[in-house]
Amino acid sequence: MPRKEVGNPANTNCLIASKSAPTIPKDNFSCLTRLDHNRAKSQIALKVGVTAKDVKNCIIWGNHSSTQYPDVNHAKVKIQGKYTGVYEAVKDDNWLKGGFITTVQQRGAAVIKARKLSSAMSAAKAICDHVRDIWFGTPEGEFVSMGVISDGNSYGVPDDLIYSFPVVLSKDKTWKFVEGLPINDFSREKMDLTAKELVDEKETAVEFLSSA
Protein backbone atom coordinates (compact mmCIF):
# COMPACT_ATOMS: atom_id res chain seq x y z
CA MET A 1 0.00 0.00 0.00
CA PRO A 2 1.48 3.40 -0.96
CA ARG A 3 2.33 5.80 1.88
CA LYS A 4 1.90 9.52 1.39
CA GLU A 5 3.35 12.46 3.37
CA VAL A 6 1.53 15.80 3.43
CA GLY A 7 2.94 17.46 6.57
CA ASN A 8 5.80 19.95 6.31
CA PRO A 9 8.68 19.75 5.64
CA ALA A 10 6.97 17.22 3.39
CA ASN A 11 9.94 15.85 1.48
CA THR A 12 12.24 15.29 4.43
CA ASN A 13 9.42 14.04 6.68
CA CYS A 14 8.64 11.49 4.00
CA LEU A 15 12.29 10.45 3.73
CA ILE A 16 12.60 9.96 7.50
CA ALA A 17 9.34 7.99 7.56
CA SER A 18 10.74 5.72 4.86
CA LYS A 19 13.98 5.18 6.75
CA SER A 20 12.00 4.42 9.91
CA ALA A 21 10.10 1.64 8.11
CA PRO A 22 12.81 -0.23 6.20
CA THR A 23 10.59 -3.23 5.49
CA ILE A 24 8.31 -1.09 3.34
CA PRO A 25 9.63 -0.48 -0.21
CA LYS A 26 10.95 3.04 -0.73
CA ASP A 27 8.82 3.39 -3.84
CA ASN A 28 5.71 3.14 -1.65
CA PHE A 29 6.47 6.52 -0.06
CA SER A 30 5.57 9.79 -1.74
CA CYS A 31 5.09 13.37 -0.64
CA LEU A 32 2.64 15.94 -1.89
CA THR A 33 3.83 18.47 -4.46
CA ARG A 34 0.54 18.32 -6.33
CA LEU A 35 -0.61 21.55 -4.71
CA ASP A 36 2.35 23.34 -6.30
CA HIS A 37 1.70 21.49 -9.57
CA ASN A 38 -1.94 22.64 -9.56
CA ARG A 39 -0.88 26.20 -8.81
CA ALA A 40 1.49 26.17 -11.76
CA LYS A 41 -1.28 24.96 -14.05
CA SER A 42 -3.63 27.64 -12.75
CA GLN A 43 -1.12 30.44 -13.31
CA ILE A 44 -0.59 29.37 -16.92
CA ALA A 45 -4.35 29.02 -17.46
CA LEU A 46 -4.99 32.52 -16.13
CA LYS A 47 -2.25 33.98 -18.30
CA VAL A 48 -3.53 32.35 -21.49
CA GLY A 49 -7.24 32.63 -20.74
CA VAL A 50 -8.19 28.95 -20.54
CA THR A 51 -9.15 26.58 -17.73
CA ALA A 52 -6.61 24.67 -15.68
CA LYS A 53 -7.88 21.45 -17.28
CA ASP A 54 -6.49 22.75 -20.58
CA VAL A 55 -2.93 22.80 -19.20
CA LYS A 56 -0.91 19.61 -18.84
CA ASN A 57 2.60 18.37 -18.09
CA CYS A 58 3.80 21.15 -15.83
CA ILE A 59 6.60 19.95 -13.56
CA ILE A 60 7.53 20.77 -9.99
CA TRP A 61 11.15 19.79 -9.40
CA GLY A 62 12.60 19.38 -5.94
CA ASN A 63 11.43 20.48 -2.55
CA HIS A 64 7.99 21.58 -1.39
CA SER A 65 9.48 24.90 -0.36
CA SER A 66 10.38 28.28 -1.81
CA THR A 67 13.28 26.65 -3.70
CA GLN A 68 10.99 24.40 -5.74
CA TYR A 69 11.32 24.83 -9.48
CA PRO A 70 8.05 25.10 -11.45
CA ASP A 71 9.07 24.11 -14.98
CA VAL A 72 6.84 24.56 -18.05
CA ASN A 73 9.43 23.84 -20.73
CA HIS A 74 7.62 20.58 -21.47
CA ALA A 75 4.08 21.72 -20.65
CA LYS A 76 1.30 22.18 -23.17
CA VAL A 77 -1.87 24.22 -23.25
CA LYS A 78 -4.99 23.53 -25.31
CA ILE A 79 -6.19 26.52 -27.28
CA GLN A 80 -9.14 26.18 -29.64
CA GLY A 81 -8.91 22.42 -29.45
CA LYS A 82 -5.18 22.11 -30.21
CA TYR A 83 -2.25 21.68 -27.83
CA THR A 84 0.72 24.01 -28.11
CA GLY A 85 3.82 24.55 -26.01
CA VAL A 86 3.39 26.90 -23.06
CA TYR A 87 6.26 29.16 -24.12
CA GLU A 88 4.67 29.58 -27.54
CA ALA A 89 1.22 30.17 -26.05
CA VAL A 90 2.25 32.65 -23.35
CA LYS A 91 4.75 34.60 -25.47
CA ASP A 92 6.38 36.13 -22.38
CA ASP A 93 9.68 34.43 -21.56
CA ASN A 94 10.56 36.99 -18.90
CA TRP A 95 7.41 36.20 -16.94
CA LEU A 96 7.83 32.44 -17.33
CA LYS A 97 11.40 32.66 -16.02
CA GLY A 98 10.60 35.22 -13.34
CA GLY A 99 7.18 36.17 -12.00
CA PHE A 100 5.56 32.84 -12.77
CA ILE A 101 8.19 30.91 -10.83
CA THR A 102 8.16 33.18 -7.79
CA THR A 103 4.35 33.27 -7.71
CA VAL A 104 4.15 29.48 -7.55
CA GLN A 105 7.03 29.24 -5.07
CA GLN A 106 5.48 31.79 -2.71
CA ARG A 107 1.77 31.19 -3.27
CA GLY A 108 1.23 29.47 0.07
CA ALA A 109 2.79 32.35 2.00
CA ALA A 110 0.81 34.87 -0.07
CA VAL A 111 -2.49 33.11 0.75
CA ILE A 112 -1.70 33.05 4.47
CA LYS A 113 -0.75 36.73 4.41
CA ALA A 114 -3.96 37.71 2.61
CA ARG A 115 -6.42 35.45 4.45
CA LYS A 116 -4.61 34.83 7.75
CA LEU A 117 -5.42 31.18 6.99
CA SER A 118 -3.79 28.46 4.95
CA SER A 119 -5.17 27.29 1.62
CA ALA A 120 -6.76 24.21 3.18
CA MET A 121 -9.27 23.52 0.41
CA SER A 122 -6.61 23.77 -2.29
CA ALA A 123 -4.43 21.36 -0.31
CA ALA A 124 -7.38 18.98 0.12
CA LYS A 125 -8.04 19.06 -3.64
CA ALA A 126 -4.36 18.35 -4.31
CA ILE A 127 -4.42 15.37 -1.92
CA CYS A 128 -7.46 14.00 -3.74
CA ASP A 129 -5.69 14.43 -7.10
CA HIS A 130 -2.55 12.73 -5.76
CA VAL A 131 -4.45 9.75 -4.34
CA ARG A 132 -6.71 9.43 -7.39
CA ASP A 133 -3.71 9.12 -9.69
CA ILE A 134 -2.08 6.55 -7.41
CA TRP A 135 -5.22 4.42 -7.56
CA PHE A 136 -6.33 4.96 -11.15
CA GLY A 137 -3.17 6.02 -12.98
CA THR A 138 -2.37 9.12 -14.98
CA PRO A 139 -4.19 9.80 -18.26
CA GLU A 140 -2.46 8.73 -21.45
CA GLY A 141 0.04 11.36 -22.60
CA GLU A 142 0.08 13.18 -19.26
CA PHE A 143 2.43 13.25 -16.31
CA VAL A 144 2.20 14.79 -12.87
CA SER A 145 4.54 15.96 -10.11
CA MET A 146 5.16 13.84 -7.05
CA GLY A 147 7.85 13.73 -4.39
CA VAL A 148 9.42 10.27 -4.68
CA ILE A 149 12.70 8.57 -3.85
CA SER A 150 15.40 9.87 -6.17
CA ASP A 151 17.34 6.59 -6.45
CA GLY A 152 18.12 5.73 -10.08
CA ASN A 153 16.85 8.94 -11.64
CA SER A 154 18.44 10.15 -14.88
CA TYR A 155 18.36 13.89 -14.09
CA GLY A 156 21.48 14.22 -11.96
CA VAL A 157 19.60 14.48 -8.67
CA PRO A 158 21.51 12.84 -5.78
CA ASP A 159 20.20 9.47 -4.59
CA ASP A 160 18.46 9.02 -1.23
CA LEU A 161 16.29 12.13 -1.38
CA ILE A 162 12.55 12.53 -1.65
CA TYR A 163 12.53 14.92 -4.59
CA SER A 164 9.64 16.01 -6.77
CA PHE A 165 9.88 14.61 -10.28
CA PRO A 166 7.58 14.26 -13.26
CA VAL A 167 6.06 10.79 -13.00
CA VAL A 168 3.48 8.61 -14.67
CA LEU A 169 1.40 6.19 -12.64
CA SER A 170 -0.23 2.96 -13.73
CA LYS A 171 -3.36 1.31 -12.45
CA ASP A 172 -1.30 -1.19 -10.45
CA LYS A 173 -0.40 1.75 -8.18
CA THR A 174 3.24 1.99 -9.28
CA TRP A 175 5.03 5.04 -10.61
CA LYS A 176 7.84 5.65 -13.07
CA PHE A 177 10.05 8.64 -13.74
CA VAL A 178 9.32 10.44 -16.99
CA GLU A 179 12.60 9.87 -18.81
CA GLY A 180 14.44 11.74 -21.52
CA LEU A 181 13.24 15.30 -20.97
CA PRO A 182 15.93 17.76 -22.11
CA ILE A 183 17.17 20.03 -19.33
CA ASN A 184 18.54 23.45 -20.24
CA ASP A 185 21.10 25.41 -18.24
CA PHE A 186 18.44 27.58 -16.56
CA SER A 187 16.56 24.50 -15.37
CA ARG A 188 19.75 22.74 -14.29
CA GLU A 189 20.65 25.57 -11.94
CA LYS A 190 17.18 25.63 -10.39
CA MET A 191 17.06 21.86 -9.98
CA ASP A 192 20.48 21.76 -8.33
CA LEU A 193 19.55 24.56 -5.93
CA THR A 194 16.49 22.78 -4.59
CA ALA A 195 18.42 19.48 -4.41
CA LYS A 196 21.06 21.17 -2.25
CA GLU A 197 18.37 22.35 0.14
CA LEU A 198 17.05 18.80 0.45
CA VAL A 199 20.54 17.44 1.11
CA ASP A 200 20.98 20.05 3.85
CA GLU A 201 17.58 19.23 5.36
CA LYS A 202 18.38 15.53 5.34
CA GLU A 203 21.71 16.07 7.08
CA THR A 204 20.07 18.25 9.74
CA ALA A 205 17.30 15.70 10.34
CA VAL A 206 19.73 12.78 10.59
CA GLU A 207 21.95 14.73 13.00
CA PHE A 208 18.97 15.66 15.17
CA LEU A 209 17.59 12.12 15.27
CA SER A 210 20.96 10.58 16.03
CA SER A 211 21.36 12.86 19.07
CA ALA A 212 17.79 12.42 20.33
**What CATH number is attached to the domain comprising 102?**
3.90.110.10
Give the model's pLDDT for residue 210. Answer: 84
* Any domain includes 165: yes
Residue 58 covered by a domain: yes
Q: Is residue 2 in some structural domain?
A: no
Strand order in the sheet with 55-56: 55-56, 76-79, 82-85
Q: Is residue 5 part of a domain?
A: no
Closest CA relative to residue 134, chosen from 172, 188, 162, 103: 172
Q: What is the pLDDT of residue 103?
A: 96
CB contact at 8 A, 63 and 163: yes
Top-confidence residue, 208 or 37: 37
- Asked whether 58 and 68 are in contact (CB, 8 A), the reply is no
Give tens-digit pLDDT for 31-75: 999 999 999 999 999 999 999 999 999 999 999 999 999 999 999
Catalytic residue, chosen from 37, 64, 74, 130, is: 64
Q: Is 64 a catalytic residue?
A: yes
How many CA within 13 A on the CB side of residue 6? 14
Q: Please report whether residue 3 resides in a domain.
A: no
Average pLDDT over the chain, rounded to an integer:
92
Q: What band does 122 get if pLDDT is binned at 50, 70 and 90? A: confident
**Interval 15-32 mean pLDDT:** 96
The strand pairing partners of 3, in sequence order, are 29
Are 210 and 20 in contact, with CB atoms under 8 Å apart? no
pLDDT digits (tens, 9 = 90+) for 65-96: 999 999 999 999 999 999 999 999 999 999 99
Full domain range(s) for residue 89:
10-211
111 falls within a domain? yes
Count of domains for the chain: 1
Tell me the mean pLDDT in the region 139-148.
97
pTM of the model: 0.92
